[in-house]
Structure 1
Amino acid sequence: MQLQGKVAVVTGGGRGIGRGITEKLLAAGARVLIAQRQPLDESLGRNANVVWVNADLAEREAPYAIARAVEEKFGGADILVNNAGFMFELSLDEMAEADWDRMMVVNMRAPVFLAKALLPRMRQRGGGSIINIGSIEGIGANPWHAAYCGSKAGVHGFTRALAVDLGRDGIRCNAIAPGWINSDLSNDYIEAQPNVAQARAALLKMHPVGRTGEPSDVGATVVFLASDDAAFITGQVIVVDGGRTAKLPLPF
């Protein structure tokens, strides 16, 4: 298996995109520490290769607590997947400084300082792979997403910077920019539209591959970037969106 003997830390790895990432890492032979506030469900909770750490990434000490936990449980980490994040929709007129600050703390500060907390042991283990989950909204924008777009563009930016700084330590750093990925949240958004069937058809039309994404699509890309198959890839943002951002819009 591609990642046999490797240890991965996945923030928010128990549900949504994070769950797809965790399942693919496990299938590739890795052991996984999941850091999130919510307890694991029964399926993940009884897996001997999975450990859960209760962590709120808005807290300044969370990255260091996660690093201590993976050291105690597995002796350190070879792979870091900064997946956890959140999004809100607010116009600039409505947004307060506190709203902006919380977005940047969770979506940007936590990933950077979790990488910092894991670095010493990752170096001792001979290197590693850091994979940050960005977004196509770090490239384009939807309405009322100024804070989210800013945070994800920042994720793409610090990914490149860390790749430059950490390459000499044998640590690669890449980002994945997912497009529309099926989840309870995205499904609820479609179901809330006035004409659900029309909304679904229009959404599919945006994707040249003829479907929207699954968490496993992101998970498979994570496994590739974490593996030796990607040994010469660093500082990149890999778009996983079924061709959505490649397709020029037409007025009909």
Structure 2
Amino acid sequence: MLTAQRGTDAEFEAIPADFTDPDSPAQVVAEAVSRAGGLDVLVNNAGRMQAARVEDMPLADWQRNLTAPFLMIQAALPLLRKTKGSIVNTGSIEGLGSNPGHAAYCASKAGLHGLTRAVAVDHGNEGIRCNAVAPGRIDTELNMGFIEAMPDPEAFRRDIAGIHPAGRTGKPEEVAALVAFLAAEDAGFITGQVYTVDGGRMAKLSLP
């Protein structure tokens, strides 16, 4: 397995990449093919949270989050066409709803969900599948750091757990398991779908 990422991971061979550079996706795909000899699966799992309302959002921040996965898909399609490969995009429940001050993030994830369906429709006859996962609150390093910055992290954790019917936040491994399934041949008749992984949060109505 090859990963393109900002940091390092001792478990997997990595290709350092800066996805704010529009030339980076094509370079990453070319390097992956050079090392591995081909491409079977593309998982788009990069994003950036910008906290701002529409009036306060710089154009560059608005454009950033959806461009990288689009360019990655564009670069990968000729290779995936050869292998009848699969694409899995990481969206978000904020592609279905929005938290306050998340205009660009919300719009980019909704756009990624739409792009997922469009790629599935346009390239299904070439043997390419495209699906997305839409995680909710997951215990990633980014989210854990956000919680630790709260005035009372323990109270915040209790409040966040309480809005989930599952009674807790999610684990990265739980999202990864679904991504692995969608990428595999066992999911060969699944395409154009967006799967919510949120402990039931989006199914729960707020109290009056």
Which category of TM-score, normalised to the shorter sequence, fits these structures? Answer: over 0.9
Structure 2 residue 190 is the aligned partner of structure 1 residue 221: no
Q: Distance in 2 between matches of 1:190 and 1:124?
A: 44
Superposed CA offset, 1:2-35 (max 9, x none): xxxxxxxxxxxxxxxxxxxxxxxxxxxxxx1111
Superposed CA offset, 1:94-128 (max 9, x none): 22222223x2xxx2122122112122222222x01
1:170 to 123, 127, 131: 127
Cα RMSD (Å) of the superposition? Answer: 1.4
Percent identical residues: 51
Q: Which range moved further: 91-100 or 56-65? A: 91-100
| Structure-1 residue corresponding to 2:30 | 68
Tell me the SS of whatever aligns to 2:190.
Answer: coil
| Structure-1 residue corresponding to 2:18 | 56
| Structure-2 residue corresponding to 1:97 | 59
* Structure 2, gaps ≥5 residues long: none
Letter in 2 for 1:118: A
| Structure-1 residue corresponding to 2:138 | 181
Letter in 2 for 1:94: D
> Are the counterparts in 2 of residues 70 and 76 from structure 1 also a CA contact under 8 Å?
yes
Q: Distance in 2 between matches of 1:192 and 1:121?
A: 43
| Structure-1 residue corresponding to 2:75 | 117
| Structure-1 residue corresponding to 2:86 | 129
* Structure 1, gaps ≥5 residues long: 1-31, 45-49
> Are the counterparts in 2 of residues 131 and 173 from structure 1 also a CA contact under 8 Å?
yes
Q: Distance in 2 between matches of 1:206 and 1:161?
A: 32
TM-score, normalising length from structure 1? Answer: 0.79
2:66 to 108, 114, 127: 108
Q: Distance in 2 between matches of 1:98 and 1:87?
A: 13
1:161 to 113, 118, 138: 118
Shift of 1:90: 1.1
Q: Distance in 2 between matches of 1:121 and 1:193?
A: 45
Shift of 1:52: 1.3
Shift of 1:58: 1.3
Q: Distance in 2 between matches of 1:60 and 1:188?
A: 28
Shift of 1:227: 1.1
* Aligned ranges 1:12-31 → 2 under 5 Å: none
In 2 relative to 1, CA 94–218 (structure 1 residues): closer, same or farther, beyond 3 Å? same
Structure 2 residue 157 is the aligned partner of structure 1 residue 200: yes
Shift of 1:37: 2.8
Q: Distance in 1 between matches of 2:148 and 2:21?
A: 34
Letter in 1 for 2:201: R
Q: Distance in 1 between matches of 2:74 and 2:142?
A: 31
Q: Distance in 2 between matches of 1:243 and 1:198?
A: 21
| Structure-2 residue corresponding to 1:36 | 5
Tell me the SS of whatever aligns to 1:164.
Answer: helix
| Structure-2 residue corresponding to 1:235 | 192
Letter in 2 for 1:64: A
Q: Which range moved further: 134-143 or 54-63? A: 54-63
Question: What is the count of residue pairs matched by the alignment?
Answer: 208
In 2 relative to 1, CA 152–214 (structure 1 residues): closer, same or farther, beyond 3 Å? same
Superposed CA offset, 1:227-247 (max 9, x none): 122111100000000101001
